[in-house]
């Protein structure tokens, strides 16, 4: 696949993977993108997961048409991209590696060597001339690891964006970009909004016509759409109006209250996303929590704590710097309900959360008093 005469795609699709990064389901697989720039000097942009080394090296060889790469630019050391670096360096012993100082430290840790004598350090603002193309390096720490650099090629105005603007899903499957890009972003980079904002500021100063991420499709049109979404996500803004309800239910009573609340909210014209935390993809529920501006947490008291799936869910939120939301609680406890208190304590360190005055306290089954509380909560959430 070529997207320009001189910049060629040499990545691979992975349909064998069960869990990306050991935790995310990827029903449509995963793409590990890599590119080669053919000019007076030849630069390879990142490698792929080592399970696909042979396929990737074949793709590269075909595009090289007998030439040898001068540079391997390693933007990110996570093994889904660096897994073929050591093999590549054996096959092409004259190639230099271009990476951040921290990436070379990681190479020593991963491969037992940092390729001394073959290093070119890519600092912020440094550039590399390939002939007609010129690579400019942009440090992007914590998007998604500390060693990350992005690369701006100024002639064709291409931003090689590392993990940013990537998504789950292989490139030989059709699916909407935003859904799997959001689940990917919130899951993987969600905690590092401040760092993403810093990189977006740097990107705003560049004339970008194409974004080449390390996952997902090459973005060539309507780039403002993708940049706007990244701005919303990284500033923890509200992407979609509506209410997300995340719940657990042991015998169906909490669920009954949740469904009643959803019905009341929908009657009032609210969009509602309901997630049963014991059965849904946890990453989808986490994505929804960051997407909408209002969230209802509904769960049972359990071992004087909250039900395990809710505990896991709230941990996912707090470790990703959950903030700027309206939060409501529904709790259920047959003899000593403590779930609301526990959940509120778990959320204590989150910035700028607004709690509703209305809440629901179920003592075993949904009572007529609970129905009134649900109506009051629906009213408050629609204000």
Return phi, psi of residue 24, to 5°: -100, 125
Return phi, psi of residue 216, to 5°: 75, 180
Is the Cβ of residue 133 or residue 144 nearer to ligand FEO in the bound state? 144
Give strand ranges (E) for 186-239: 210-212
Is the Cβ of residue 140 or residue 360 nearer to ligand FEO in the bound state? 140
Is the Cβ of residue 99 or residue 374 nearer to ligand FEO in the bound state? 99
Is the Cβ of residue 33 or residue 301 nearer to ligand FEO in the bound state? 33
15: left (phi over 0), alpha (psi -120 to 50) or beta: alpha
CB distance 245 to 296 below 8 Å: yes
Which H/E stretch holds residue 301?
A: strand 292-302
Burial group, residue 150, by CB count within 10 angstroms (0-12, 13-18, 19+): buried
**Would you mind telling me the total number of residues written for the chain in this entry?**
383
CB of 46 to ligand FEO, least distance (A): 9
CB of 215 to ligand FEO, least distance (A): 6
Residues that bind ligand FEO (CB under 6 A): 76, 78, 80-81, 144, 163, 214-215
Work out the angle at residue 244's Cα, subtended by the Cα atoms of residues 238 and 245, and round it to the nearest 5 degrees. Answer: 155
Is the Cβ of residue 9 or residue 302 nearer to ligand FEO in the bound state? 9
Tell me how far apart the alpha carbons of residues 50 and 297 are, in angstroms, rounded to a whole number. Answer: 41
CB of 106 to ligand FEO, least distance (A): 12
Which residue has the CB atom at the shortest distance from ligand FEO?
78
Is the Cβ of residue 78 or residue 180 nearer to ligand FEO in the bound state? 78
CA-to-CA separations, 279 to 35, 109, 274, 283, 339, in angstroms, rounded = 39, 38, 11, 12, 20
CB distance 96 to 109 below 8 Å: no
For the CA atoms of 107, 110, 113, 116, what is the dihedral angle to 10 degrees? 0
Is the Cβ of residue 184 or residue 302 nearer to ligand FEO in the bound state? 184
Is the Cβ of residue 215 or residue 325 nearer to ligand FEO in the bound state? 215
Is the Cβ of residue 14 or residue 78 nearer to ligand FEO in the bound state? 78
Is the Cβ of residue 32 or residue 71 nearer to ligand FEO in the bound state? 32
CB distance 236 to 324 below 8 Å: yes
CB of 6 to ligand FEO, least distance (A): 25
CB of 161 to ligand FEO, least distance (A): 11
Q: Which residue carries 């010129």 as its tokens?
A: 134
Tokens of 336: 């000593």
CB of 143 to ligand FEO, least distance (A): 9
CB of 16 to ligand FEO, least distance (A): 16
Alpha-carbon dihedral sign for residues 149, 150, 151, 152 = negative
Q: Which residue carries 């016509």 as its tokens?
A: 209
Q: Which of 134, 112, 116 is nearest to 125 (CA)?
A: 134
CB of 190 to ligand FEO, least distance (A): 13
Three-class secondary structure of residue 34 per DSSP = coil
CB of 77 to ligand FEO, least distance (A): 9
CB of 144 to ligand FEO, least distance (A): 4
Burial group, residue 174, by CB count within 10 angstroms (0-12, 13-18, 19+): exposed
* Cβ density class 91-101: b for 16+ within 10 Å, e for less: ebeebbbbbbe
């Amino acid at each position: 696949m070529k997207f320009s005469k001189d910049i060629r795609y040499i990545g691979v699709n992975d349909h064998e993977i069960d869990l990306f990064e050991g935790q995310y389901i990827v029903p449509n697989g995963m793409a590990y993108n890599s590119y080669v720039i053919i000019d007076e000097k030849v630069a390879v942009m990142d490698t792929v997961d080592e399970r696909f080394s042979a396929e990737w090296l074949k793709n590269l060889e075909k595009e090289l048409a007998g030439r040898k790469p001068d540079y391997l630019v390693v933007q990110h050391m996570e093994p889904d991209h660096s897994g073929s670096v050591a093999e590549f360096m054996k096959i092409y012993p004259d190639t230099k590696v271009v990476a951040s100082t921290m990436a070379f430290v990681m190479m020593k840790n991963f491969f037992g060597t940092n390729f001394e004598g073959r290093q070119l350090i890519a600092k912020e603002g440094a550039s590399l001339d390939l002939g007609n193309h010129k690579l400019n390096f942009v440090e992007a720490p914590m998007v998604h690891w500390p060693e990350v650099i992005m690369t701006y090629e100024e002639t064709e105005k291409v931003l090689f964006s590392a993990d940013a603007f990537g998504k789950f899903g292989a490139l030989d499957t059709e699916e909407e970009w935003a859904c799997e890009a959001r689940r990917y972003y919130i899951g993987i980079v969600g905690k590092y909004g401040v760092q993403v904002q810093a990189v977006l500021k740097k990107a705003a100063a560049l004339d970008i016509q194409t974004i080449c991420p390390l996952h997902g499709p090459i973005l060539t049109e309507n780039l403002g759409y993708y940049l706007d979404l990244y701005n919303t996500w990284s500033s923890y803004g509200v992407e979609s109006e509506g209410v997300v309800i995340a719940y657990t239910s042991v015998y169906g009573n909490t669920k009954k209250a949740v469904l009643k609340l959803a019905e009341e909210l929908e009657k009032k014209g609210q969009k509602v996303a309901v997630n049963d935390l014991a059965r849904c993809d946890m990453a989808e529920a986490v994505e929804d929590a960051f997407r909408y501006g209002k969230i209802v947490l509904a769960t049972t008291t359990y071992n004087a704590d909250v039900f395990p799936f809710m505990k896991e869910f709230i941990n996912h939120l707090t470790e990703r710097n959950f903030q700027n939301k309206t939060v409501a609680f529904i709790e259920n406890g047959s003899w000593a309900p403590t779930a609301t208190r526990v959940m509120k304590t778990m959320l204590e360190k989150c910035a700028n959360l607004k709690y509703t005055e209305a809440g629901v306290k179920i003592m075993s089954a949904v009572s007529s008093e609970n129905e009134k509380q649900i109506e009051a909560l629906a009213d408050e959430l629609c204000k």
